[in-house]
Amino acid sequence: MSQGIGLLTSPGDGGRTELLLLLDVVWCCPGCGHEQQERYYRATPLHPCTLARLEQRLDHAPAGVQASCEQCDQPMDGADAVERWSLQTGFPGGHGLLQGFADRAGGRSWRLSPHQRLDVQLLPVLEPPEDIASVIVERLSESTCLDVFHRCWNPKSALRQALLHHPPAPGSCVAIDPTPGLRIVIADADDADQALALMASRLPDAWVTETLVAGGEPARGWLNGPAEWLGDLLPSRPRTFVVAAADPAQVAEAAQTIVESFPMRITIEATTPTTCRLIVEGAPEDAVTIQLDQHDVATEAARTLICPRDATRVELDRAIVWIGSATASEEAGT
């Protein structure tokens, strides 16, 4: 994860996108009792990152971290010398910050802030500040996220919950809007045409539609697709039909606000009504023509059930890494 250029997402194992986690810990030296604070940068695979996984990451965050006491130089291990810690993360594509707080005695709480955003330079916070703009809870839930952020943390969880609790029944289509710019419709296999018609009738033409499940079979052939996160539920629901749609306009809007938060100056030029070009000041000539195709990003969002704004951030971070490596190669004369 490259902190220097402010990335919130980065390619992990097998090209699977990871999301930044900021871990701040307070050490208490077992030898001399000296307290010191340190920050660690962590990441978790973005697509399978449910709220339950975030809670697990908070619980186990000190395991594996090591430090030396500033006062007596004694080596310290997270498992027995971290007193309290916090984990911060958020939506890569926009506002919405989650901060988890924990201590050795078992205390756990989460602060959800709708007007703050994840940033590599966020200051450490080790106790939840109370203010009227945030909500503090002991456990995370998608319903709390909906209340506070007006969107789900993970749209895949919303679909799974819907299939678990409201399996498709003949003659009824269920529509879910898990995030802005993303809609899911679930139906019985016999009602697939009605589900598609329902989707088409209520959405602008520009939205991209992708069938995720037909005849109880998840669509295959792409990374982070439904086969990876619905496969366990479908054998007992062989008549399931699921279609998702995403809004390309959200991609263009998000790109503009995201590049404003980058430390380098980037301008966006429209090249066609649905594509644009990113121009990075100071980057080598052949690295500046990064094309962002709103239709492609929205398709990726619909296929993998991710908010189109978050998908935009993933795409832009990928481009920034590419520019960074191109610039480094040019400077090295290769």
Longest dimension (CA), the chain: 71
Closest distance between Zn ion and the C-beta of residue 81, in Å? 9
Using CB under 5 A, pick the residue from 34, 42, 104, 295 that binds Zn ion.
34
Site for Zn ion in 280-309 (CB under 5 A): none
Residue number, 73 or 127, with CB nearest to Zn ion: 73
Q: What is d(CA 294, CA 311) in angstroms, rounded to the nearest whole number?
A: 10
Residue number, 31 or 204, with CB nearest to Zn ion: 31
Alpha carbon of 67 to those of 3, 30, 36, 148, 279: distances in Å? 20, 12, 10, 36, 41
Residue number, 29 or 316, with CB nearest to Zn ion: 29
Closest distance between Zn ion and the C-beta of residue 76, in Å? 8
Using CB under 5 A, pick the residue from 2, 3, 31, 164 that binds Zn ion.
31
Closest distance between Zn ion and the C-beta of residue 95, in Å? 40
Q: What is d(CA 179, CA 170) in angstroms, rounded to the nearest whole number?
A: 26
Is there a contact between 32 and 69 (Cβ–Cβ < 8 Å)?
yes
Residue number, 19 or 81, with CB nearest to Zn ion: 81
Closest distance between Zn ion and the C-beta of residue 159, in Å? 50
Closest distance between Zn ion and the C-beta of residue 69, in Å? 3
Stretch that binds Zn ion, among 21-29, 45-53, 169-177, 300-308 (CB under 5 A): 21-29
DSSP tag of 91: -
**DSSP string for 187-234:** EEGGGHHHHHHHHHHHS-TTSEEEEEEETTEE--SSTT-HHHHTTTTS
Stretch that binds Zn ion, among 4-12, 72-80, 187-195, 292-300 (CB under 5 A): 72-80
Closest distance between Zn ion and the C-beta of residue 28, in Å? 9
Measuring CA to CA, which residue among 163, 180, 168, 247 is closest to residue 209?
Answer: 247
Stretch that binds Zn ion, among 48-56, 71-79, 156-164, 204-212 (CB under 5 A): 71-79
DSSP tag of 289: -
Using CB under 5 A, pick the residue from 8, 21, 43, 69 that binds Zn ion.
69
Type of residue found at 65: V
Is there binding between residue 32 and Zn ion (CB under 5 A)? yes
Residue number, 34 or 160, with CB nearest to Zn ion: 34
Using CB under 5 A, pick the residue from 68, 71, 172, 236 that binds Zn ion.
71
Residue number, 71 or 236, with CB nearest to Zn ion: 71
Query: How many residues of this chain bind Zn ion (CB under 5 A)?
Result: 8
Residue number, 32 or 206, with CB nearest to Zn ion: 32
Q: What is d(CA 147, CA 198) in angstroms, rounded to the nearest whole number?
A: 26
Stretch that binds Zn ion, among 28-36, 97-105, 187-195, 312-320 (CB under 5 A): 28-36
Between helices 308-331 and 294-304, what is the axis angle to 10°? 120
DSSP tag of 121: T
CA 257 to chain centre: 17
Is there a contact between 11 and 4 (Cβ–Cβ < 8 Å)?
no
Q: What is d(CA 231, CA 3) in angstroms, rounded to the nearest whole number?
A: 35
* Angle in degrees, CA 49, 142, 13, rounded to 5: 5
Stretch that binds Zn ion, among 25-33, 44-52, 104-112, 311-319 (CB under 5 A): 25-33
Site for Zn ion in 219-278 (CB under 5 A): none
**Alpha-helical segments (H) within the chain:** 51-60, 78-81, 142-149, 155-165, 192-202, 226-229, 248-260, 294-304, 308-331
Q: Give the residues lining the site for Zn ion (CB under 5 A).
A: 29, 31-32, 34, 69, 71-72, 74
